[in-house]
Structure 1
Amino acid sequence: MSLWRSRRVGSYLALVAGTTVAATLLYNYGMATWENDPQPLYRSLEVVFQTFTTTGYGEDAPWSTPQMNFLMIGLQLTGIGLILTGVDIFAVPWLRSALATTAPTTASDLEDHVIVCEYSPRGEAFIEELESRGQDYVVVESDEETALELHETDRRVIHGDSESTDVLEEAGIERARAVVADAADDTNASIVLSAREANAEVRIVTLVEDQRLGEYHRIAGADKVLSPRQLLGESFAHRVPTAVTTAVDEGIEIGNDLELVELSIAEGSDLCGRTADAVGLRDRFGVDGIGAWFNGDFESPIPPDRDLETGTRLLVAGEPDRIDELRAEAASTVHPFAAQSVVIAGYGEAGAAAGNALAATNTRVTVLDSDDKDGVDIVGDARDPETIAEAGIDDASAVIVTLDDDTSAIFTTLVVRDLNPSVDIVVRANDTENVQKLYRAGADYVQSLATVSGRMLASTVLEDEEVLAVDRQIDVVRLPAGELAGQTIVGADVRSRTGCTVLAIVRDDETITEFDPSEFVFEAGDEVVIAGTDESVRSFETLFLD
């Protein structure tokens, strides 16, 4: 019982006792004075109890004087009030407890499942991937309220301490295929030790915020340690134009003669302001337009009548030399070969990784953080316009925002865009749901930490899935063909049903990039390389892999 409940019950019992004593004395006085019928106190106490409990009045009723009748009316009302108060204090909490929904504490029916220790936005993206694949899982959540919320939204969850071997055994660790630790770095190490004790053979994957601590996860027994913040920071650095590189996509190699590339339409380029149909990606350049981002929204296929404005990003696939021709025409964010100035707001794991990657160039990097630590040039709040101005926003060619709080990142983006309308803003979103807010605030490129983490986990835990681009806004993944066997791409209507584009087919370890979508028939054992948003890839998995 909580301290508040204890005090409430104590106060109620004191009220009942005090009211009973006062009523007994008053009734005894009334019978002696008004009714001229003196009686012992114990008899007056009996009458008071009869009145409070509404069981009757005994031999004293009726009373002849108005004073006693009014007194008895008061005692009756007092008794009803005490009863109702008692119901609220004792009966209502008991009923709530008896009828309340509680999160389970065991998952005895699962087998060959994945155990996710602690729930987070990073784990949410992974859970959605597991559900789309029909892969059983259970979340072990130590916070009772969070566990209940997950249970009520039909997530498979048990409530308990994920560092406890007993709880992990209740989660079925002896039958599990993998354990994913997604808590704080020190907690993850404890989870690994417990999991290894409970099942020496289970595969254990951890997520680490501070890459330096990853080695201790391995010492504890982790099979794989993932550092999405480090990867995301390095990826952001590659998005920034420098004096020796340009901010063009390095490309995802699908086969020997096929690349998937993201590139931007630069202001003043030959493609800027023209419609997708007029550009003629296939006829003029010999590449396939997979889709395009317009103001942060991905559209696939590219609407033929849509204007390609400055900043529009194309996702295209083709032979490397044909891609190079398109790059030249798009002049995709190529900057003069002069030293560039970049501001990094937020110097955690991702910010430090971006700074280290940019250190290999002659880029002038200014680091802004709220804490005074090694590597920080300006100490202050990134949301403060004066602090941003002190960091050199007027002369900056790009700003990388890697703050731990999305609300702060959104406000910082608004401030930066107001102070320098032409600067490139690259932002990390911690939660996927805030990506579009950041684009509306003025960001040029946003990537979600949750999305990157989910892809890394899926590629590591699911043996038949290989994510080829974990740090891109588009998901490129190699999957079994599944129920596509015996069908063609056109016959299965893959693109319109899922939103995915089939880039290549892998058959007998050979990657086939040239095929007729209406003639090529899939065979059992084939694999497909598809590109699409995370949602469209999950649609493909649901339709063809369940």
Structure 2
Amino acid sequence: MKGFSAQLAFMLGSASVRRNVGQLLRLLALLAALIAGYSVLFHYVMLYEGRSDEFTPFTGFYWVMTVMSTLGFGDITFHSDLGRAFAVVVLLSGLIALLIIFPFTFIQFFWAPWLAAQREAQAPRELPPNTHGHVIFTAREPVAEALLTKLVQYDVPYVMLAPTAAEALELHDQGYHVMVGVPDSPEIYHCARVENAAMVVATGSDEVNTNVAFTVREVSEAVSVVAVINRAPSADILELAGANHVLDLAEMLGHALARRAAGTDAVLHTIGRFGELCIAEVSVNHTPLAGVTIRDSALRERYGVTIAGLWDRGHFRAPRADDVLRENTVAILVGAENEMAALAADLMHDREALRDGLVLVIGGGRVGQAAATMLRQRGVPYRILERDPASCAPDDEHYVLGDASELSALQRAGLMQALTVIITTQDDDTNIYLTIYCRRLRPDAQIVCRATHERNVDSMHRAGAEFVMSYASLGAATIFNYLSRSDVLMVAQGLNLIRVPTPPALVGPSIAHSAVRSRTGCSIVALMHDGKIVLSPPPDTVLGADMDLVLIGTVEAEEEFLRYFGGL
């Protein structure tokens, strides 16, 4: 009964529903008046036939109801033409009123709103008071969806705000944790327990994100606010509004794409730090590492640096000593910062010869411009092919106006001479299209491609791209690392560094005998014991119960480790 009352109150809270219910009540009153009138006329017709003494007032009501509902039991009939004509009128009005107008009106004005109110009442409008450590999302878009996947994997609670109950229910049906509320209302953040939240993630427009940050600060000064910007000048405004972290993902992605280009390969790029541990990536193309096995590279013996993983066309795999480092391979290196610096200095010697190689950037948007900026800073020649005249700098010789789907435009931009092609448009379909085209025209060129959605990464690799950087994955990994978890660091797309206590199944044997890498795909890159970290531990190191393991691997490898050796 309490639930019925709550749903009725919720339904009647809408002005349109109240108006519809009023119309329904007026229709019922009209129908009741019609039935009462027919009941009175019944007796007058019977009086005309001289039979009025045989029927009571209730009998007249009974006859009207049986005729209007088309049941027509036949126990009461008229003998005159006037009576039969009256019966036809009652029957036709009953057909129209009871079988057509009333059912439609009842469903439209009452039953449908009732079902809608019953469903909308299921959409949460407030989180439980004991909710804490959760992440609040203000919009659903690719970065948020990629981050949600990671939060679910690590059991981090979250809630996504939906402006209407209909949107909230749709998201709820898709498996999301949602709450009804607009992102610019302080009351909504009170209901979302923002004072106990770990983070608020704003991924809407710059104006909306500014309002979100400012509104959140009205409720809580302590919660971390992360905002993604679409225009570089908005960074200062968002910081003034109260955002702790402002991410220019377009610039970050452009720099990441440029780092993959030939001519910059021989430079180590730090992608993460875990205490004293430094994680870096290097493309082996045009370096002394190309074509040799991991064993023959002797990086561990010469520099103290360990190859913790290999990226081949978007697929991460645990390294083996006999693996050959191919030119399109990106190696993930782990070691101390000074060891990385020594290796980088040696690799720099082979970089000069590549500086004359042209890099063609397709797309002159924010990502393309960011990539060009990094190429210019590194002294690498480049050209930008852009079809929108408004995005081309007329006095800049690096810009070429044209459509990348036309061969003449690609030739004018220097495709046939380019060492690397960087495709930066924000439409994944266009990027796959251009990747296939450029690969056909230049089978020997390096193609680096941008993906907006994670689901299209594999398709771009199949189309011919050596390297694909996902906008969503980059944003999700960066934001996840702001959660200040001490046991997880996301260092690259789909690649994590995790710290776990030594499982009982691994206590006793050495690292070599434990066969963690061959069994799970994770690599032990460091050990932590008594507050000290041991980088790149030797294979004969015996694992103790008081040690923590620092592992690197994909999400699937991490899950396999926990399944094989036991949970935390």
CA contact (8 A) 1:290 1:300 kept: yes
Look up the equivalent residue of 1:351 and give its one-letter code: G
Shift of 1:156: 2.7
Shift of 1:421: 2.8
Shift of 1:320: 5.9
Structure 2 partner of 1:373: 391
Shift of 1:62: 4.9
- Change beyond 3 A, Cα 1:445–1:17: farther
For residues 381 and 161 of structure 1, what CA distance do their matches in structure 2 show? Answer: 41
TM-score normalised by structure 2 residue count: 0.72
Shift of 1:225: 1.9
Structure 1 partner of 2:214: 193
Look up the equivalent residue of 2:294 and give its one-letter code: L
Question: Secondary structure of the equivalent of 2:113?
Answer: helix
Pairs within 5 Å for 1:58-457:
61-62=77-78, 78=96, 79-90=98-109, 92-100=111-119, 102-108=122-128, 109-142=130-163, 144-242=165-263, 245-246=264-265, 249-250=268-269, 261-264=281-284, 280-282=293-295, 285=298, 290-301=308-319, 311-315=328-332, 336-337=353-354, 339-360=356-377, 361-370=379-388, 372-373=390-391, 375=393, 377-379=399-401, 381-383=403-405, 387-457=409-479
Structure 2 partner of 1:276: none
CA deviation digits over 1:396-437, x for unaligned, max 9?
Answer: 322222222222222232232233333222112111111111
Shift of 1:129: 2.9
Shift of 1:50: 6.2
CA contact (8 A) 2:267 2:344 kept: no
- Change beyond 3 A, Cα 1:522–1:92: farther
Look up the equivalent residue of 2:482 and give its one-letter code: T
CA contact (8 A) 2:457 2:468 kept: yes
Shift of 1:172: 0.4
Look up the equivalent residue of 1:349 and give its one-letter code: R
- Change beyond 3 A, Cα 1:322–1:224: closer
CA deviation digits over 1:474-502, x for unaligned, max 9?
Answer: 6353x443464883667877546753212
Structure 2 partner of 1:521: 543
Identify unmatched segments of 5+ residues in structure 1.
38-43, 273-278
Shift of 1:363: 0.3
For residues 497 and 153 of structure 1, what CA distance do their matches in structure 2 show? Answer: 35
1:475 is aligned, of 465, 470, 495, to: 495
CA contact (8 A) 1:140 1:162 kept: yes
Shift of 1:295: 4.2
Shift of 1:355: 1.1
Question: Secondary structure of the equivalent of 1:481?
Answer: strand
User: What number of residue pairs does the alignment pair up?
Assistant: 516
Let me know the Cα RMSD of the aligned residues.
5.0
CA contact (8 A) 1:367 1:375 kept: no
- Change beyond 3 A, Cα 1:232–1:50: same
CA deviation digits over 1:338-375, x for unaligned, max 9?
Answer: 63322222333322211111112150322415361354
- Change beyond 3 A, Cα 1:6–1:487: farther
Shift of 1:59: 9.4
For residues 337 and 294 of structure 1, what CA distance do their matches in structure 2 show? Answer: 22
Question: Secondary structure of the equivalent of 2:176?
Answer: coil
For residues 446 and 453 of structure 1, what CA distance do their matches in structure 2 show? Answer: 14
CA contact (8 A) 2:265 2:285 kept: no
Look up the equivalent residue of 1:202 and give its one-letter code: V
CA contact (8 A) 1:251 1:261 kept: yes
